[in-house]
Amino acid sequence: MPTFSKKPAYIAAPPPEPRRTPGQSVRALLGNPYFGALAAGSMFVTMLGVLIAVTGDPKAGEPVVRVSLAKIAGRAEPGWRNALAPERPGDPLVTEDLFTLSETPVEAESLIGGQAVITMPGGQMFQAGGPLPQAPLAGFHTQGPGGLLPIIAQDGRTPAEAYARPFTPNGKPKIAVMIGGLGLNAKATRQAIETLPPQVTLSFVPYAEGLQGWIDLARAHGHEVLLEAPMEPMDYPENDPGPYTLLADAQPADNVRKLEWLLSRASGYYGVTNYLGSKFVSSDRAMAAFSGALRARGLAFVDDGSATRRAGGVPRASADKIIDDQLSAEAIDQQLLALEAGAIQSGQALGAGFAYPVTLSQVARWAQGLEQRGYQLAPASALTSP
């Protein structure tokens, strides 16, 4: 039986090479393929350094966008970690590296007036439709029984003014779209925040876990935010919007207490929108108490078209179209085209939709060519009036 030794096999030493002249040594070195590769690499690095020294930063001709998302991870309030939790068991956990949520991550840097700072070649800077300031803003909140509540600042400015997305009209017909039902489905919420233009207004469900984190992320992407108030529908309680539903026949004080709980769930929204509410908005007494509470806190009210004839002394807007009553791409496209027609006729139009995947994809595609078609995409706040 053969045996195997653990010792290395004996290898005979190679015979000594013959002595070479200096010229032969240089020629042999140049002919060595490893030396040739090393020399070529060194020459490439040297030439690249010279090129950068002469021409400057190779990316100097591109706009540089600096967006401040770092503060989200540093918030004392809980929520953002839950909002960014894995969608399915086994998925990687999204942690403080919030930039991984975006397909086009940007470096955190400074802001000017809550707008992204874009630096063009030559050092010229201008503000673009970038992130909105981190909430809560100083002077616009007070501590309530369940959390922060919005208030009018001492100088008279309202949260509706402070938290709305800035807008400058350019004379073209304005079209706004608000997308609701956000915060419950992580995938749809991220899709809305990251793929829709920042001019699109997003509304969030008050019962959503990690609500503040979602609102922070939406504002970091430039979206103004509405908070949804669940209101009594005609078929209540068969159709129940939740334990804090505002009821048409409830005492006004009871509805105000419920509303304050809803408002204390997060900060950073400029107004409230309805979730359902066909019965609630038909009650004069209920709507008077609701509008009075919003007016006292300086908030706007933007509805899905259910409360078109209701005023209330607050900044108001009502949707002209529900864009996804029929869940098909073709039907949604037709409703978006109807918004364009309405904007031509009236100078502005507001559409409302839900965070269905087909709605999000069609709105994103439609918005891409809106300016070329002669319209201006606007936040919903730009269409409000007292």
Check if the beta carbon of residue 252 is closer than 8 Å to that of residue 286. Answer: yes
3-state secondary structure of 372: coil
CA distance 126 to 112: 9
Residue 176 has pLDDT above 90, yes or no: yes
Q: What's the mean per-residue pLDDT of the chain?
A: 78
Whether pLDDT at 41 is above 80: no
78 pLDDT exceeds 60?
no
Q: Is pLDDT above 90 for 111? A: no
Residue 76 has pLDDT above 50, yes or no: no
Q: What is the mean pLDDT of residues 341-351?
A: 98
Q: Would you call 125 helix, strand, or coil by DSSP? A: strand
What mean pLDDT is predicted for residues 320-349?
A: 97
Q: Over 90: is that where the pLDDT of 312 sits?
A: no
Could you give the CA distance from residue 277 to residue 281 in angstroms, rounded to a whole number? Answer: 6
Contact 202, 181 (CB under 8 A): no
How far is residue 109 from each of residues 66, 112, 116, 266, 324, measured CA to CA in Å?
A: 5, 10, 9, 25, 38
**Cβ of 191: how many Cβ atoms within 10 Å?**
18
Q: Is residue 158 classed exposed, middle or buried when 0-12, 13-18 and 19+ CB atoms within 10 A define those classes?
A: buried
366-378 in b/e form (b: 16+ CB < 10 A) is bbeebeeeebbbb
Q: Residues 163, 220: contact at Cβ < 8 Å?
A: no
8 Å CB contact between 324 and 355: no
Q: CA-based angle 144:148:149, to the nearest 5?
A: 75
| Global pTM value | 0.70
Tell me the C-alpha to C-alpha distance, in Å, between residue 73 and each of 66, 81, 92: 17, 8, 17
Between 45-49, 146-150, 330-334, the lowest mean confidence (pLDDT) is in: 45-49
Cα angle 178, 269, 317; round to 5: 45
pLDDT, residue 246, reads: 98
Domains, the chain: 133-383 (3.20.20.370)
Residue 263: HSE in the Cβ half-sphere, 13 Å Cα cutoff: 30
Give dist(CA 259, CA 272) in Å, integer: 10
Reported confidence tier of residue 291, pLDDT bands at 50, 70, 90? very high
